[in-house]
Amino acid sequence: MISVALWSVALLLSLAPVGIALSTRPRGSIVLYGACLAVTATLCIAALLHLFDPAHPVSSATLPIGLPWLGAHFRLDALSAFFLVVINLGGAAASLFALGYGAHEESPGRVLPFYPAYLAGMNTVVLTNDAFSFLVAWEFMSLTSWALVVAHHREAQNVRAGYVYLLMASFGTLALLLAFGLLANGAGYDFDAIRASHPSAALAGMVVILVLLGAGSKAGLVPLHAWLPLAHPAAPSHVSALMSGVMTKVAVYGFVRIVFDLLPEPEWWWSMVVLLVGGPTATLGVLYALMQRDIKRVLAYSTIENIGIIFTGLGLALAFKAQGLDWVAALAFTAAMLHVFNHALFKSLLFFGAGAVLEATGARDMEKFGGLIHRMPRTAFAMLVGCVAISALPPFNGFVSEWLTFQAILLSPQLPSWGLKLAIPAVGGLLALAAAFAAACFVKLYGISFLGRPRSDVAAAAHETDRFSLAAMFALAALCLVAGVLPGLFIDALAPVSKAMVGNVMPHQTGLQWLTIVPIAESRSSYNGLLVFLFVALCGTAAASAIHRLASDRLRRAPAWDCGYPDPNPAIQYSASSFSQPIRRVFGSVIFAAREIGEMPPPSSRAPARLTVELHDLIWEALYAPIAKAISFATEHINVLQFLTIRRYLTLVFVALIVLLLVVAL
């Protein structure tokens, strides 16, 4: 099976130079995206077969590339098979969407060559089995995604987004390099040798911190999230879906592979660090999303929230595993991995919908939308499914993984550590707050964008997207429903992953009556997605039938009550800023230093009042802006070294040589 995966990666890499030639052809994008669709679908099926293999084999291979004395080691086990499914399911959906969306790409020569290379890089990361190959694949993934971020390089904000992304990616790679350097000391770079080593508790703790910095910067953990809301909206929409729905999960894979697999048994304080990062990340991410008007920035910030939920689950798994409660650790770990899969589905779906809206209107500002449900009904339906799923409402998939996470939180009193007994309920409160904010956020996104009346000419002239894009969206919407109605099938599929990482599994779910899921015991809690779905479907059908049969068919004409506003101007509708105003006034002054500036028209004017909102990213201003200023100051003064005379250059070289000799001598 490992050979199938490696050949698939090789095919994707070979498509990269082909993309250069195809970028000048009229139907070149269809050929390339069709080939990527075929390869990723094949690799997804192969990974599924490996994951469902009852023997759970581990296959490996070594190629004579990379370092001469090391080679490149590859391994396919349950963990890598699961993440291959996530990557290639997302890649296949993005390729299908791009068959239609890519035909309208302004600069295909800057997208087509890097798209298959980007897919190959993500797949290679989860297949590698040595530190050198892992870091090379990780950096290759970062560089190809950076090239896609700056594809529309004529827009200044995209260039800035690419610059910030490249800096943060370099920082993350440096942190991972240091982590592997500590692990490889005395053990070597091969993962099998690292697994067999026994690093000290202090060294292992340092590695956990470095991996949290390295993988967290790629995943978007607060305060390492600065690049994500800049880069994800800048990329083409199908690439945004991959970056947000898939690449952030590759970062999760890196954390799980090192912390749960390569390191020895965890210490309890590791979980404290992860939990105290994951909980605030979830809440701050969705608060940032609530304040946005750009539809793609809303989705980007929402990714930060979901990454916080995933790392909270991983932190819980570390806490329970460190205390010997492997059965609860399996629950928390399964919840985190299930949310990895679920988020890849509904976030890709939402980015596809945002891309369809962007193509139809040419705008990303929700204040320019409105009434799109009448002009893009199929896209509106798919987006509704995605909004309900990401809001964690049953019977869709987002509810199940978050519900399992809360089930693990409710078991925290069994932990002997008082620090964890206090921290975990606090983190649970943050997750509950984030869940409520997420629902408000996507009510705002859907209501402002698709309901009401068009707020601009571009919204009034919008049209439905192409059939390929719709097919991709409806396929993901169907998977969101299936994973929510039949979650036991997906939980059981994750059993080999949980067994390999935490040493235990959740109880078998698919054999239970009515496909109910019981994470602990039926007397404590249970959930049946199928019954919830049937209840919702029957109640909806009955309500629609009653309205259709019992409602009066008399035609009555009367002026509608309009809250005292006779002017039919769409400007009197709720706006995105006014929708989030109550929450902004509660949290904005502390978290965003929000400031509202009102512009009142003169009494004789019928123009509406204008409200301008100023928001500040305090984390950026406190952490990153001073560093940027210091670097700018240093570079401006160091720049004089380019204009020295030959004598001064020789003097500088001589002084540097003396300093180096003194350092070596000491």
Q: 661 and 604 share a domain?
A: no
Domain residues for the domain of 472 are 265-541
| Same domain, yes or no: 362 and 499 | yes
Asked if residue 508 and residue 428 are part of one domain, the reply reads yes
- Domain finish residue from 519, 541, 563: 541
The pLDDT assigned to 452 comes to: 83
Computed over every residue of the chain, the mean pLDDT equals: 87
Judge whether 207 lies within some domain: no
Of 491, 516, 541, the domain-final residue? 541
296 and 414 in a single domain? The answer is yes
> What is the model's pLDDT at position 248?
94
Of 222, 240, 287, 229, which is closest to residue 441 (Cα–Cα)? 287
Between 16 and 637, the higher pLDDT residue: 16
Tokens 């904000």 sit on residue: 157
> Pick from 92, 152, 99, 114: which is nearest to 20 by CA?
114
Instruction: Tell me, yes or no, whether 481 and 370 share the same domain.
Output: yes
The two tokens of residue 504 are 């235990």
Name the DSSP class of 454: -
Is residue 573 assigned to a domain?
no
Predicted local confidence at residue 567, as pLDDT: 58
**Quick one: 377 and 433 in the same domain?**
yes
Percentage of the chain beyond pLDDT 70 is 94
Give per-residue pLDDT as tens, 182-195. Answer: 988 767 788 888 88
> Amino acid letter at 273?
V
Within a domain: residue 312? yes
Tens of pLDDT, residues 213-236: 999 999 999 888 888 888 888 888
Confidence of residue 421 (pLDDT cuts 50, 70, 90): confident
Position 469 in a domain: yes
* Bond preceding residue 425 cis, omega within 30 of 0: no
User: How many structural domains comprise the chain?
Assistant: 3
Clarify whether residues 517 and 644 are in a common domain. no
Q: How many CB atoms lie within 10 A of CB 223?
A: 18
One domain, residues 455 and 349: yes
Helices 418-450 and 377-390: crossing angle, nearest 10°? 170
What digits encode the pLDDT tens for the residues 104-114? 777 787 888 99
In a domain, 70, yes or no: no
Q: Is the pLDDT of residue 565 over 60?
A: no
pLDDT at position 407 over 70: yes
Q: Which two tokens stand for residue 569?
A: 């101007």
Q: Between 548 and 34, where is the model more confident? A: 34
Residues 587 and 641 in one domain: no
**Quick one: three-class SS letters along 333-360?**
HHHHHHHHHHHHHHHHHHHHHHHHHHHH
Q: Quick one: pLDDT band at residue 278, thresholds 50, 70, 90? A: very high
Residue 219 and residue 160 in contact, taking contact as beta carbons nearer than 8 Å: no
Asked whether residue 584 is assigned to any structural domain, the reply reads yes
Q: Is residue 256 part of a domain?
A: no
Residue 33 lies in a domain: no
Res. 297: pLDDT tops 70 = yes
Angle, helix 114-127 to helix 28-51, in steps of 10 degrees:
10
Q: Are residues 606 and 623 in the same domain?
A: no
> What does the pLDDT average to over 46-55?
87
- Tell me the C-alpha distance between 174 and 181, whole Å: 10
DSSP string, 543-610: HHHHHHHHS-------PPP-TT-----GGGS--HHHHTHHHHHHHHHHHT--EEEEEPPPTT--PPPE
- Domain boundary residue, one of 541, 567, 597: 541
Residues 532 and 628 in one domain: no
pLDDT at 566 over 60: no
State pLDDT tens for residues 356-380: 999 999 888 888 888 899 999 999 9
Asked if residue 468 and residue 398 are part of one domain, the reply reads: yes
